[in-house]
Structure formats: structure tokens, C-alpha cells
Amino acid sequence: MTSVGEVVAHLVAIRANLDSAAVTASRAQADAEQALAHLAEVRRGGNNQLLAAAAADAEVARDKAGRYARLLADAARHISAYVNVIAPGAAPIDPSVDASAPSGERLVTEAEARGSKADILWRRQVQKADDTEDALKSSESGANQFYKFLRQDNRGGSSTGTASHEPAQESPQIDNPVTAVVMAAGALAVIAKAMWNYGHTRRTRRRDSDDQA
């Protein structure tokens, strides 16, 4: 019979391979992006059909490679979330320091584009929130503490209005579908752990509410 430990070991190995593949795809994306930029330079003023076709192909390749990179990274994170449910703490908790992580120095040196850099930084922040089980909403709360201070400080310390601007500490809502998937995976792990820790309380509470219903 296969032990949980063996299953976990297999999954962790699969995850590492996926991370590695994600980096390869991200590199391909960065290379295609760079090729596009160089082609644009060369083509300036010209109208060669072969070069136009090369640019069109590189553009498709860039977009698809980026998509593969995201999907591979998402698959890896889903596996981590699952592994951490069946064996808490067993999956890599900080892929950003992992050589295979699709973020950080390796990618930045390859993807110089401003947008890519902003994406990488945002993904890292999301990943850190995910890894530490610190709700991304906490950053919103931190910001609003600061804004509240500014408003009060500039109005002679008077606290007006009813808006608390203190968001609930719930799993973050993200517009981006990719990060939403990442966060959904993280939220799953958090919820599962909470259920284990407080299972008895939850069952009692549910029984109570059922009784009242």
C-alpha cells in the first residue's frame, strides 16, 4: 500500500517539475518579447512580408508562452495547496526563493518590460500572502489605517463620518483570473486547516444553528 508520505513525495516532485517548466515557458515569453522589440527596430520604415510574418508569429508565441507559464505555475500551486491539506507544511512554502520559481532575478533579467516587472512584483506579493496565510486584504487594511490618519491629522484630529474602512479579514477578492485561481488554492488550504483546528467548534455551532432553525 502506498503511504501518504510517498504520495506527498511524488506530488512535491511533480510540483518541482511544473515550476521548472513554468520558468522555461516564461523564458520563452521573454525571448519572444525581446525578438519582437528587435524586429520592430529592424522593420522600421520597411514593409517586408517575411519579417511581418516573423513578428506576427513571435507575438502569438509570446502570448501563448505567457499563458503556458501561468497555467504551469497555477498547476504547481494547486498541487501545493492539496499537499498542504493532506500533510500541512509539506509542500514548498516559498517558491520565490526556489530556483525554479517563475519570479525574481532570473525572470527580471530576461523580461525588462515595465509591465512584466509590475506583474512579477504583484505575483510575489500574492504568493507571499498565500504562503504566510496572511490575507491580501490586510494590505488594504494597512493602507486605510494610513489614509484614515491623514484625513484626521489634516482635519484637526476630528474623526468624522461613519466609514470604518476596516475591511473584513476574508480571503482576498481579486479581479485577475490568474491570481484569483492562486488565491482560491491558498484559501482552500486555509479553510481546511481552520476546519481541522476548530472542527469541534464548527460542528457544535452548526448543531446549535440547526436546532434553532
Partner 1 sequence: MIKPDLIEYIRTMIRSDYAANESVGARLDAEGWDGFPRFLAALFFVAVDRRFGETADRAGVIKFVADLRAEYEGGPEIRADDAESLILSTIDPSLDYAVSQEMIGRVQAATVQKVFTDEDLADAELEALLSEAADLASRD
Evaluated on CA atoms 189, 192, 194, 197, the torsion sign reads negative
Least distance in Å: CB of 10 to partner 1?
Answer: 29
Could you identify the residue written with the cell 474602512?
165
Residue 170 interacts with partner 1 (CB under 8 A)?
Answer: no
CB-based contact 130:77 (threshold 8 Å): yes
Min CB(79)–partner 1 separation in Å? 22
Applying CB under 8 A, does 145 fall inside the site for partner 1?
Answer: yes
Residues 34-93 that bind partner 1 (CB under 8 A): none
| Contact flag: residue 140 with partner 1 (CB under 8 A) | yes
Q: Measured over all CA atoms, what is the biggest interatomic distance in the chain, rounded to whole angstroms?
A: 78
CA quadruple 27, 32, 38, 42: dihedral, nearest 10: 160
Among residues 1, 163, 209, 212, the one that binds partner 1 under rule CB under 8 A: 163
Kindly tell me which residue out of 7, 42, 86, 173 binds partner 1, with binding defined by CB under 8 A.
Answer: 173
Stretch in the footprint of partner 1 (CB under 8 A) among 9-17, 31-39, 122-130, 185-193: 122-130
CA distance 130 to 124: 10
Per rule CB under 8 A, is residue 25 in the interface with partner 1? Answer: no
Three-class DSSP category at 17 = helix
Smaller CB separation from partner 1, 11 or 129: 129
Q: Is 29 in the site for partner 1 (CB under 8 A)?
A: no
DSSP string, 168-204: ---PPP-SSHHHHHHHHHHHHHHHHHHHHHHHHHHHH
Q: Site for partner 1 (CB under 8 A): which residue of 141, 171, 184, 188?
A: 141
CB of 29 to partner 1, least distance (A): 13
**b/e per residue, 22-31, with b = 16+ CB within 10 A?**
bbbbbbbbbb
- Residue 210 within binding range of partner 1, rule CB under 8 A: no
Work out the number of other CB atoms within 10 angstroms of the CB of residue 109.
9
What is the contact surface with partner 1 in residues (CB under 8 A)? 96-97, 103-105, 108-109, 114-115, 117-122, 124-125, 128-129, 132, 134-147, 149-151, 153-155, 160-165, 167, 172-179
